[in-house]
Amino acid sequence: MELRSLNYFVRIAELGSITRAASHLHVAQPALTRHVQRLEEELDVVLFTRANRGVRLTEAGQKLLEGAARILRDIERTGDEIRAQDAHPSGKIILGITPTLCPVLVPELFARMQRDYKMIELKVMHAGMVRLEEFIIDGRADIALLSELSRSRLIVSTRLGEEEMVLVTKPGARPRGAVGGDELRQTPLILGDGLRAAMDALLAGHGIELKVEIEINDHETIRLMVQQGVGASILPHSSVSKEAARGLLEAHRITETGIFRSLALGVRAGRNASQARDAVARTIARAVADLDRAGRLAIATGRHPLPRRARRAAEAASPAGVSG
């Protein structure tokens, strides 16, 4: 197979039309058609079927798209690494990120990248923890901001910090102060699959089983339902800190010492680093540190978030870590 043919095939698949691909690539439509026909002859399969306003991938075409996209990304990444220089990193970097962190971090990340690294093209895709690990391993993402340290031997993850998970309610729905274990067990929750699995893991040592009454896998919808008083939820503090500051909802610490998830950067083990990927990693690390300093990653105790050493001391004093 020619790389040019694979590139043309991927572009047609992405745009869903040979006509649009020809216009985008500045290549005559008959030439693109011939490249597709050569690929079909070589593989002895049909790659596209006609649709109302273009073409649609067959099952074989979808399989080729997955492999071709990886091949082209690896070649592009290799070229980026060869051309890259310390002072002016360039190339395309695909970042994976969890849905809760996406609206919190991505706008600021793009602003910083456009200011400091204009030659880097950044693409963002969001997914839950399991999918993000798959994206890193199979090469669909160059780097990912994870909501916990990865346990996969194929991924190298580096801790950036911690974020507090909080009980979120309508203002005045409960007294202010920490939520004890007994209260949390009895609180009906609105929660999605991903956050429920994450909280089950974080609460495993506390003997708390959550009472989920409404399951929704959209965090923005959950936040709006909480604001309207439909129910309570558990969300990362960063995703509700602005609304809490404006009095639209209230965020409550879970247990006296708090429940915290790790934030970590993950990359494929054994994959050579690039200047562009390193630049993105540094920018993410600084942005997370700034969120922490601004008090958006944890509930403030007095004027400052509860220090990590204070949390550890409190946990040592109360092994169960749960009041109530």
Each domain of the chain, given as residue ranges in start order, spans 3-79, 82-161+262-293, 164-261+300-317
Question: Which pLDDT score is estimated for 82?
Answer: 66
* Six-digit token string for 305: 């978030």
pLDDT value at position 320? 32
- Report percent pLDDT > 90 for the chain: 73
Containing 280, the helix (H) or strand (E) segment is helix 275-293
The yes-or-no verdict on residue 313 having pLDDT over 80 is no
Q: How far apart are CA 97 and CA 106, in angstroms?
A: 9
- Checking if the pLDDT of 135 tops 90, the result is yes
- Residue 133 confidence (pLDDT) above 50: yes
Residue 267 has pLDDT above 90, yes or no: yes
Closest by Cα among 51, 59, 17 to 36: 17
Q: pLDDT class for 315, splitting at 50, 70, 90? A: very low
Give per-residue pLDDT as tens, 161-196: 999 999 999 999 999 899 999 999 999 999 998 899
Q: Band of the pLDDT at 18, cuts 50, 70, 90?
A: very high
Reply yes or no on whether the pLDDT at 89 is more than 70.
Answer: yes
Share of the chain above pLDDT 70, in %: 90
Q: Tens of pLDDT along 222-262? A: 999 999 999 999 999 999 999 999 999 999 999 999 999 99
* pTM of model > 0.75: no
H/E stretch holding 225 reads helix 219-227
pLDDT(299) > 50: yes
pLDDT digits 0-9 by tens, 25-40: 999 999 999 999 999 9
Give residue 303's pLDDT: 36
Q: Which pLDDT does position 194 carry in this prediction?
A: 87
- Is residue 12 predicted with pLDDT exceeding 80? yes
Q: Is residue 324 predicted with pLDDT exceeding 70?
A: no
Question: Is a pLDDT exceeding 60 seen at residue 317?
Answer: no
Residue 274, pLDDT score? 87
Is residue 39 within 8 Å of residue 64, measured between CB atoms? yes
- Has residue 49 got a pLDDT over 90? yes
Does this chain's domain 82-161+262-293 share its CATH topology with 164-261+300-317? yes
Is 164-261+300-317 a CATH 3.40.190.290 domain?
yes
Q: How far apart are CA 24 and CA 55, in angstroms?
A: 16
CATH code assigned to 82-161+262-293: 3.40.190.10
Q: In the prediction, which pLDDT does 90 show?
A: 85
pLDDT range class, residue 84, cuts 50, 70, 90: low
pLDDT band for position 78 (cuts 50, 70, 90): confident
* Nearest C-alpha neighbor of 147 from the set 251, 256, 238: 238
Range scoring the smallest mean pLDDT among 46-60, 200-214, 304-318: 304-318
The pLDDT score that the predictor gives to residue 271 is 85
Q: What is the CATH number of domain 3-79?
A: 1.10.10.10
User: Is residue 304 scored above 50 in pLDDT?
Assistant: no
C-alpha distance from residue 250 to each of 101, 173, 303 (Å): 19, 9, 17
Residue type, 54: G
What is the DSSP track for 116-155? H-TTEEEEEEE--HHHHHHHHHHTS-SEEEESS----TTE
Q: Residue 94 pLDDT > 60, yes or no?
A: yes
